[in-house]
Structure 1
Amino acid sequence: MTREELASFALSLPEAVESAHHGTRDFRVRTKIFLTMPEQDYCVVRLTPEQQHMTLAVSPKETVAVPGGWGLRGSTRLFFQLASDALVQDLVRRSWQNAAPKTLQRQFVVIPSP
């Protein structure tokens, strides 16, 4: 997946908008950041600690890493050009869901990966 394909996918999520934070391209749902693109080769998604642990356990080591930025638990670097599109989309959806208000989350259900 390219940077622009990733951006397009992020913007396809409900109420997602593009913005910038300290000169870094980011994507938000309402006012909360769910994806940042600080470098050309990776983005940062915001997972729960449990989601992060599971992702690190089952994903190829070259596709995800910690720490991921923001200084928050669960921030995970995703090397989107090396990862499968399915993994990228799954993690971006989960990150969106983690940032979205509960009322909006109920309208958009993330289906767990097998």
Structure 2
Amino acid sequence: MIDLETVRKLALSFPESTEQDHWGRPSFRVKKKIFLTLWPAEKRAVVKLSAIDQSVFCDYNETIFYPVTGAWGKQGWTNIELKKVRKNMFVDALNLSWQGAAPKSLLKTNQPEEKHKSNSRKR
């Protein structure tokens, strides 16, 4: 399980990340592009992943990771159940989502730091 405050701190720890309201929910952005939206009442997060990454996470455990309903899910938007997800798995998904939203120029100058890499042996 990962709590909402930890999610917020993790999201804001990425380079040039900001928090902004998105239809009454907290969203986290890099250069105005959303990479995470929180659904606090549902204890759920939504990230955008590539089709391949979405498939991998959903195949891992579809009760923790599952596509958003409809066209949004087909575009890679993926629900994460915060009550069930391990922190290292959440960090992996968050890192991929941030990288997908960040401009290439920012990616070149800001490689993921150790704090954003998970230890796959802990899974």
Question: What residue number does 2:53 align with?
Answer: 51
Distance 1:112 1:53 in 2: 19
CA shift digits 1:50-91 (9 cap, x unpaired): 110111112x22211112688261000011221100000110
SS at match of 1:43: strand
Normalising by structure 2, what TM-score? 0.81
CA shift digits 1:33-61 (9 cap, x unpaired): 00001243211000011110111112x22
Question: What residue number does 2:88 align with?
Answer: 86
Distance 2:117 2:8 in 1: 21
Q: 1:111 to 1:84 in 2, by over 3 A?
A: closer
Structure 2 runs not aligned, ≥5 long: none
Equivalent pairs counted in the alignment come to 113
Structure 1 residue 24 displacement after superposition: 1.4
Distance 1:69 1:43 in 2: 17
Distance 1:82 1:29 in 2: 26
Q: Larger radius of gyration, structure 1 or 2?
A: 2
The Cα RMSD (Å) is 2.2
Normalising by structure 1, what TM-score? 0.87
Preserved CA contact (<8 Å) 1:44 1:69: no
Preserved CA contact (<8 Å) 1:68 1:77: no
Preserved CA contact (<8 Å) 2:46 2:78: yes
Question: What residue number does 2:111 align with?
Answer: 108
Identity %: 29
Structure 1 runs not aligned, ≥5 long: none
For 1:15-26, list aligned pairs within 5 A. Answer: 15-26=16-27
In terms of fraction of residues, the more helix-rich structure is: 2
